[in-house]
Structure 1
Amino acid sequence: MKTLKTKTFGSKNLPTARRKSVAVSQESWIKTEHLLPGKDIPFMVQPAMDGMNLVDWAKNNRTVVDDLFLKHKALLFRNFHPKNVEDFQEFVKATSDGGFLEYKDRSTPRKDVGDKIYTSTIHPSDQTINPHNEGTYWVKWALKLYFCCMTASEQGGETPIADVGKVFKRLDADIQKQFLEKKMMLVRNYNDGFGLPWQEVYQTEDKKEVESYCRENLIEFEWKGGDRLRTRQIRPAVRKHPKTDELVWFNHAAFFHYTTLDDNISEALLAEFGEEGLPYNTYYGDGTPIEASVVEHIRQAYEQEKVMFLWQEGDILMLDNMSIAHAREPYVGDRLIATAMTEAFSGNVG
């Protein structure tokens, strides 16, 4: 474990009742170490003394946070005990630049718990959410992704993480080449009776607004009659990280591929809608099918890089969204994880 000496955040922020000898120091301290033996992520940051205010410390030690974040990609702030969503929101503001991103062009339902602070994906508790990076199919996505554990589940409910630079390196060379050259296409169908309606995905009831959003975000669209909509968007499957120049596997190719669904569900959907009418599916960028064996190979690469840990209430997990994928394990009991996205970034889309 390493103890870092950082800038003082002022005696006015230190505990005032029954001050211990350590509390009279004009310097703040943090303890840092890898959370799990033999695993690079996440890197844990804890207070080295009682009564530290995480938000005040972060405001006065932004350079420390930035340096740790660039080096470790996934930071777990533990035992700082934020009291509520507002504390979480203030920490996000203190450790990022620019405004918060809105969840639009959604793939899953969420609830607002603050100003652009959302619940993590609402999904049946007995099911797994597969690894993905947030917003890979948007033209602007978040560089920083935050989670805060407001209520830890009784069992399970971990948020596994995986380094997608390492995931990319695990892929066979011919698969890397295919996706580098062809990119990836996401096809979605709305209002056919399964999946989210476009009204929820685009957060509007106005078709003109949907069309405008699609044009601005390089999404092909067609109205199929009534309220039914089909969209297509082609995006790079591999990107270069803007700060490290590392090639990262940044896409939803496996996540949205129909073979990721339970066999019974995928067979039923294919029988009902056909492949072109599935709620969502992925292809190579030229429209040719991605082989099931390739999707399985991608899943295994994620699995080999997966790191899991149990949430503790008050934990804040700060992720480099282009470097670290996240997922969710099944759970028992109540669970509430708040999330926020910041530092919008756009790269080449076509």
Structure 2
Amino acid sequence: MSAQFSRAGTVRRAFRSAAGPEAVTVEPLTADGTPPMVVRPKEAGTDLATWAAASKEWVCDTLLEHRALLFRGWPVADAAGFQRFVAAVSDGEPLQYRDRSTPRDEVSQNVYLSTTYPAAERIEPHNEGTYWSTWPQKLFFCCLTAPPVGGETPIIDNRKVIERIPVAVRERLERLGVRYVRNYNSGFGLTWQEGYQTDSREDVDRYAAANGTVTEWLEDDRLRTVQIRPAVRTHPVTGEKLWFNHAGFFHISSRDPQMREALVEALGEDGLPTTTTHGDGSPIADEDVRAINEAYRAGEIAFRWEVGDVMLLDNMTMAHARRPYEGDRKIVVAMTDPVSGGDAAQSGPAVAAEGGEA
């Protein structure tokens, strides 16, 4: 189905349906009509998961059209209710969160708290799993506790991000790809046991080999991994070229300057918890990273969370971030509908060659 529709056409088509979509209203959150589209029940108390089960095709079509949906005004009170909705509009089970870059607590099967990170700090825009060989197409958020101040989850359209990045920067990364290097058990960041959710080196090596990742075991139970991934991916349905990587997010220049200096002094450039280069190992210039980060920030769309809100994103199209907050905040997330880039098969030799130089 084409991704190019008019919003009015979508709504008219939905209300002629004999299933569940006639029970909702759909309107843009912002005056200029940019996503997310807000989907509300016409009748208070309508169960979101029950309605969605009768309306799955409509939900998926509307997501493809707009790439971000905000379900508001539904009585979603807990992780179990959220999980029922996730199951109703997904194909297969939610993805497990392995090869982690941040700590997350699992609140129910494959439903996680959003990233555990200091409330006073911002999390920069990113998409889930860009450095994995298989990543989620659908990404779900649910607000169980809304902070009194801040804590928004801005979303950013990657189709516009790629247009804002300077041509030379974009073409260089598209040609060379992104090389991700991570060091575990350095005293900073996650341990490899936390990142891979196992205490077995053999399990880590098996998982890594199956997913196009080179592992290098170092002294003191430290682990270094190297992955090479494309900077641009093709949407599996529409064929659009999308900016889909963590090139700027994991780059050392994206860190606070004082933190950057402390990490480099303590660990050296080769020992940083995370870093990125071009796929051939050449450095990504700090000014290129600034241009990438500015391209994301220029497109942020944010809203205040309300308790019971559920946001559904096309993960390949829409990046997300997190703003600082005060007070309590509880957002749970789930990832479904895996998409494979074939990196385990296609990138193995290149990754192995680079891994030997890391």
Quick check: TM above 0.5?
yes
2:54 pairs with 1:43: no
2:186 pairs with 1:192: yes
Q: Offset at 1:7?
A: 3.1
Q: Distance in 1 between matches of 2:126 and 2:342?
A: 20
Deviation beyond 6 Å, 4+ runs, structure 1: none
Pick the aligned partner of 2:298 from 296, 304, 324: 304
Contact 1:149 1:312 in 2 (8 A): yes
Q: Offset at 1:214?
A: 1.1
Give the count of matched residue pairs.
Answer: 333
TM-score (norm 2): 0.91
Instruction: Tell me which residue corresponds to 2:197.
Output: 203
Identity of matched residues, %: 46
Task: Please state whether the residue corresponding to 2:174 is helix, strand or coil.
Answer: helix
The unaligned stretches of length 5 or more in structure 1 are 10-26
Task: Please state whether the residue corresponding to 1:311 is helix, strand or coil.
Answer: coil
Contact 1:7 1:61 in 2 (8 A): no
Q: Distance in 2 between matches of 1:315 and 1:128?
A: 21
Q: Offset at 1:223?
A: 1.0
Q: Distance in 2 between matches of 1:330 and 1:100?
A: 28
2:350 pairs with 1:339: no
Instruction: Tell me which residue corresponds to 2:263.
Output: 269
TM-score (norm 1): 0.93
Q: Offset at 1:288?
A: 0.6
Contact 2:154 2:303 in 1 (8 A): yes
Q: Offset at 1:8?
A: 4.4
Aligned-partner residue type, residue 307 of structure 2: E
Instruction: Tell me which residue corresponds to 2:18.
Output: 7
Query: Which 10-residue stretch deviates more, 264-273 or 53-62?
Result: 53-62
The unaligned stretches of length 5 or more in structure 2 are 1-6, 348-358
Show the 5 A alignment for 1:1-350: 4-5=14-15, 6-8=17-19, 28-349=22-343, 350=347
Contact 2:44 2:73 in 1 (8 A): no
Task: Please state whether the residue corresponding to 1:251 is helix, strand or coil.
Answer: coil
Q: Distance in 2 between matches of 1:7 and 1:337?
A: 33
Q: Offset at 1:51?
A: 2.7
Q: Distance in 2 between matches of 1:57 and 1:209?
A: 41
Larger radius of gyration: 1
Query: Which 10-residue stretch deviates more, 76-85 or 27-36?
Result: 27-36
Q: Offset at 1:28?
A: 4.4
Aligned-partner residue type, residue 230 of structure 2: P
Contact 1:108 1:122 in 2 (8 A): yes
1:185-244 alpha-carbon deviations (Å, 9 max, x no partner): 000011111111000000011111111111111111111112111111000010111111
Contact 2:131 2:227 in 1 (8 A): yes
Aligned-partner residue type, residue 266 of structure 1: R
Q: Offset at 1:39?
A: 4.5
Aligned-partner residue type, residue 55 of structure 1: A
